[in-house]
Homo-oligomer: A and B are copies of this chain.
Amino acid sequence: MKFSPLVDELIQSLRCLPGVGPKSAQRMAFQLLERDRRAGLKLATALGSAMSDVGHCQSCRTFTEESLCPICASAKRGRAGIICVVETPADVLAIEAGGHFNGRYFVLLGHLSPLDGVGPEELGLARLEQHLAEGEVTELILATNPTVEGDATAHFIADIARRYEVSISRIAHGVPVGGELEYVDSTTLALSFNGRLPL
């Protein structure tokens, strides 16, 4: 036995969300139907308008419904002349939460992955090079993830950036603050020794 068509359709559709299997989808559908139809309708509207209207910032490629995202639109952030390259919009949020970076971002929306058909074009590297060619950027910080693909992407971008007058750096990798040496993996520990700073 299945549920009635509309309920069934809702449960099936909820499974498009990451990490939601058949049981969770069922629980979500019943929770909304039983307890919170208003929230469900609000979610339907929010989903509809976000899916149709949200595009990419023309300057940094993050998600926005305007032509420029709030950070790129801010003149103050542009004055610093620093661009930080990250993989996802979530990374932007993580860095902004610290409040220590006052430059702009460039969001790759992925990393180089030839097997999945993700090349320089998919990452918008032409747009990044255009930023560099305009000459307003003095520093490029590569903050892609410390994974094989992230590192490869960082090196690839560094190779492009060397053609322009811009200082290029990669964020430091090492023991996280509050972590214990005992539980840190050997690669991270090796990187933290290589990247040691004079005290």
A residues touching B (Cβ–Cβ < 8 Å)?
Answer: 1-7, 9-10, 12-14, 16-19, 24, 26-34, 36-37, 39-54, 62-66, 69-71, 88-90, 92-93, 96, 109
Contact = CB atoms under 8 A, between A and B. Distances in A.
Copies per assembly: 2
A93 B2 CA distance: 8
A3 B46 CA distance: 14
Contact of A4 (B24, B64, B88): B64
Given A30-B89, A93-B26, A54 B16 contact: no
A1 B47 contact: no
A24 B18 CA distance: 9
Closest 9 A-B residue pairs measured CB to CB? A16-B39, A44-B47, A13-B46, A44-B48, A1-B96, A4-B64, A10-B50, A40-B51, A13-B43
B33 A51 contact: yes
Given A3-B62, A9-B50, A14-B46, 7 more contacts: A4-B66, A9-B46, A14-B43, A17-B17, A43-B44, A43-B47, A44-B48
B16 A36 contact: yes
Given A36-B16, A42-B16, A47-B43, A30 B66 contact: no
Nearest to A46: B13
A70 B30 contact: no
B47 A13 contact: yes
A117 to B, nearest CB: 13
Best-buried of A6, A26, A47, A96 by chain B (most CB within 10 Å): A47
B4 A29 contact: no
B51 A32 contact: yes
